[in-house]
């Protein structure tokens, strides 16, 4: 009997065919992973005896998150209070919450206004109030994800390595390009860099243990590679910038853009949306003629965050970008598509996964890859936790 050779179809038809490890996670492995994530969580939520802890929440937050964090606080002799708003889309401090917020020393918040409300900024700056934003910890089950157990101190080292690439002694251009034709330039000065990097997250401090800190848990979002903080949030100042960006996706859209959609900026204002598709028309209505301005340019820094997960606030995988733009008029499209979105409907995050970003002569992001992941200090820090290549470059799609 002649032995028949194996064909491509034969291999695919075999129920045993495999050239990859099993995807089944053994219980003992899951236990290790889970407690690593819990340890990360407890490092970030650095609640101290004597703290006045306040939760600023919304009705859709998983109550187990509040209970878990309250348990940590209780073990340290702290008994938190909670103020629940109607949604996360709070854009300024409610008058009825003001007294509670002013009394707090440690705030855990889901509210959009957390980062830039003038009162909150003042309390952090003058009173040393410590804040943790939990946009990415709205469900306790998130502790079972790879990004939850990625070492928080290693995230900090990646951020510091990225910060070192910015020139600090002369003016330079931050430029953006991609295969679709993106061509955007933001002109930076040393003062802009100094102001941007004054944020504790740019110093790689992702634990809420420093006076005046503002951090995220999970430590995935930001810091922003450009933001209004370049000008200390002075509303009368803006970046000298111009050009066009071709995002691949945006919040509220079911699928990535098949046809090119171009967003043209002059200074920080959206002046035109290019394209003939339905997506272009929707973004045109959302961003043109409504004083839509670039609020932040976010970048991811957690290598285990899913690369193509854009919701709720742009992908936070390393090198993925989101252009956060705010307008003066709420978008009816966003209100219909994502009525319970964690951001207000005056905001839009447009996402790019494959941009090349340069700061002067240095390449910050190369075709969607954050080059700081290959920084020697980052590699050295990663080696404390395992194989640096697996930790830093094994992509979660």
pLDDT reported for residue 4 = 74
pLDDT reported for residue 397 = 77
**pTM of the predicted structure, to 2 decimals:** 0.93
Q: How many helices (H) and strands (E) does the chain have?
A: 12, 18
For the chain, the domains span 27-144, 151-204+220-393
The CATH class of 27-144 is alpha beta
pLDDT reported for residue 209 = 96
In eight-state DSSP terms, residue 25 is P
pLDDT in tens, 238-281: 899 999 999 999 999 999 999 999 999 999 999 999 999 999 99
Q: Which residues of the chain have pLDDT under 50?
A: none
CB 307 within 8 A of CB 320: yes
pLDDT reported for residue 99 = 97
Closest CA to 166 of 367, 371, 316: 371
CB 327 within 8 A of CB 291: yes
pLDDT reported for residue 1 = 59
Output the CA–CA distances (angstroms, integers) from residue 101 to 66, 74, 88, 109, 273, in the order listed. Answer: 17, 19, 16, 11, 40
pLDDT reported for residue 21 = 83
d(CA 123, CA 201): 18
In degrees, rounded to 5, the angle at the alpha carbon of residue 256 between the alpha carbons of residues 250 and 261 is 70
């Amino acid at each position: 009997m002649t032995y028949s050779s194996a064909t491509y179809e034969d291999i695919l038809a075999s129920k045993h065919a495999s050239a990859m490890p099993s995807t089944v996670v053994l219980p003992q492995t899951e236990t290790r992973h889970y407690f690593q994530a819990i340890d990360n969580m407890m490092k970030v939520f650095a609640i101290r005896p004597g703290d006045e802890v306040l939760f600023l929440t919304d009705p859709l937050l998983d109550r187990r998150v509040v209970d878990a964090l309250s348990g940590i606080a209780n073990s340290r002799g702290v008994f938190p209070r909670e103020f629940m708003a109607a949604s996360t889309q709070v854009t300024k401090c409610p008058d009825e919450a003001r007294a509670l917020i002013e009394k707090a020393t440690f705030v855990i918040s889901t509210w959009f206004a957390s980062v830039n409300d003038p009162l909150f900024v003042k309390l952090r700056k003058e009173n040393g109030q410590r804040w943790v934003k939990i946009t990415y910890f709205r469900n306790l089950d998130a502790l079972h994800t790879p990004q939850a157990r990625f070492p928080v101190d290693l995230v900090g080292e990646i951020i510091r390595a990225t910060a070192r690439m910015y020139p600090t002694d002369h003016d330079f251009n931050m430029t953006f390009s991609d295969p679709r034709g993106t061509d955007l330039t933001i002109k930076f000065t040393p003062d802009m860099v100094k102001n941007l990097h004054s944020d504790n997250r740019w110093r790689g401090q992702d634990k809420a243990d420093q006076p005046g800190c503002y951090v995220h848990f999970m430590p995935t979002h930001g810091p922003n590679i450009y933001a209004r903080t370049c000008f200390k949030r002075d509303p009368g100042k803006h970046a000298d910038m111009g050009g066009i960006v071709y995002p691949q996706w945006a919040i509220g859209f079911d699928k990535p853009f098949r046809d090119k959609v171009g967003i043209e900026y002059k200074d920080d204002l959206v002046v035109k949306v290019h394209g003939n598709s339905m997506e272009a028309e929707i973004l045109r209505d959302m961003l043109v003629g409504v004083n839509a301005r670039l609020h932040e340019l976010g970048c991811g820094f957690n290598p285990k965050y899913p690369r193509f997960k854009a919701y709720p606030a742009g992908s936070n995988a390393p090198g993925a970008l989101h252009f956060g733009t705010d307008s003066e008029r709420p978008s009816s499209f966003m209100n219909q598509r994502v009525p319970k979105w964690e951001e207000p409907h005056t905001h839009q995050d447009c996402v790019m996964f494959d941009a090349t970003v340069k700061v002067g002569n240095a390449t910050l992001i190369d075709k969607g890859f954050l080059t700081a992941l290959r920084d020697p200090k980052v590699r050295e820090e990663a080696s404390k936790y395992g194989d640096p290549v697996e930790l830093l470059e094994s992509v979660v799609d």
